[in-house]
Amino acid sequence: MRKRELKNVEWSLLIVAIILCIIGLVALFSATQSAEYDEFNKQCIWVVVSLVIMVVVMLVDYEMLVKISPVFYGLFIILLIAVLFTSPVNGATSWFDIGFFSFQPGEFAKVFVILFLAFAITKIQSKSKSDINKPTRLLVLLAILGVPVLLIIKQPDYGTAAAFIVAMLLMLISAGIDKKYIIVTAILVVISVPILYNFVLPDHAKKRIDIFLNPESDPRGAGYNIIQSKLAIGAGGLTGMGLLKGNQTQLGFLYPKTTDFIFAVIGEEMGFIVAGAVIILYVLLVTKSLYVAKTSKDETGALIATGITGVFLFHMVENIGMVMGLLPITGVPLPFISYGGSSLITNFICIGLLLNISSKRQKTIFVK
């Protein structure tokens, strides 16, 4: 990477990601005390591996990655089909168990679906930007998204599927989709929600929604986790109960405390100040990602950065929202903080892409 490109890199993205990682490691250290720090030790290894992969992604021209994205898209479709035949873990067939590492293809697929969508949208708009609004073109894009989303729903993993949809929605808006499509989609969603709830959603998905609306209806069953999570956050107060001292965290009432409910651990043991700082860091991450999209040298880079922004935004809002009882529980990890090698590597690949895109922009020409 040339000196001029290094100057253009949006290093603040990497700084925010590393700070979030450090906070996550501190929380994991406390949350895994009773398990002899097993997950904490593994996460430390995945941080190092993720940073190495991020550097590689940063140095490889993103335009080349976009060109080969159809190959990786096809590969991950095969993996998403194959994973359906694995043994269920917590009721979902989302992982390949490879000894020391559980590989979750749905996480990595987010990156390659975004790259392939950017490839397809750019091809569609190569003659005219208005081509994106032709129904036949939109159907092609919906098919590209629909295949992996349906396979992930089949696992079932509704949270990850929703992240794909949010990413594509922001990419289409960035590409200049006509507002009439957005309005029609919004109307269809409003109409379809009660229909989906009553006739399509499986019982376990309905129960999650019911428990979200009234967790006290089953305090010892389905509502237990969210009640304990809210108790943990409330008990933390302004400065927290202290590391290794949280009642819900250390006495085993909070579950799963290293993945879905890691934000509750932060709230209980580090308090509102640190929990609030985490939210501010995510806001910075999202706004800086959008800035990379805005200043990208081409439409392809802007589309990739916008899609990544959608993934970060959805994961932040959904995870923190569900932990606080504001949104239904979907099992979505908190980026850079929740335990998990697949999630962490995917997030740093996204950071690598954003750094890559920002390095190619002509930022310096605006400086007098």
* Mean pLDDT score, 200-218: 80
Of 210 and 99, the structure prediction assigns the larger pLDDT to 210
Does the pLDDT of residue 366 top 50, yes or no? Answer: no
What token pair was written down for 164?
A: 């794909």
Q: What is the pLDDT of residue 363?
A: 55
Residue 182 has pLDDT above 50, yes or no: yes
Tell me the average pLDDT across 21-39: 93
pLDDT over threshold 50, residue 334: yes
Q: How much is the pLDDT for 211?
A: 81
Express each pLDDT in 298-331 by its tens digit.
999 999 999 999 999 999 999 999 999 999 888 8
Rounded Cα distance between 114 and 148, Å, is 12
The mean pLDDT of 339-360, rounded to a whole number, is: 95
Residues 339, 39: contact at Cβ < 8 Å? yes
Name the residue type at position 364: T
Quick one: pLDDT at residue 367? Answer: 38
End-to-end CA distance of the chain: 24
**Could you give the percent of the chain with pLDDT greater than 70?**
98
- pLDDT above 90 for 193: no
Question: Within its chain, how far is the Cα of 310 from the centroid?
Answer: 8
Residue 161 has what pLDDT? 94
Whole-angstrom distance, CA of residue 320 vs CA of residue 262: 9
Amino acid at 130: S
Task: Kindly report, residue by residue over 88-133, the tens digit of the pLDDT.
Answer: 877 788 888 877 678 899 999 999 999 999 999 999 998 777 788 9
Of all residues in the chain, the percent with pLDDT exceeding 90 is 70
Query: CA–CA separation, 283 vs 312, rounded Å?
Result: 10
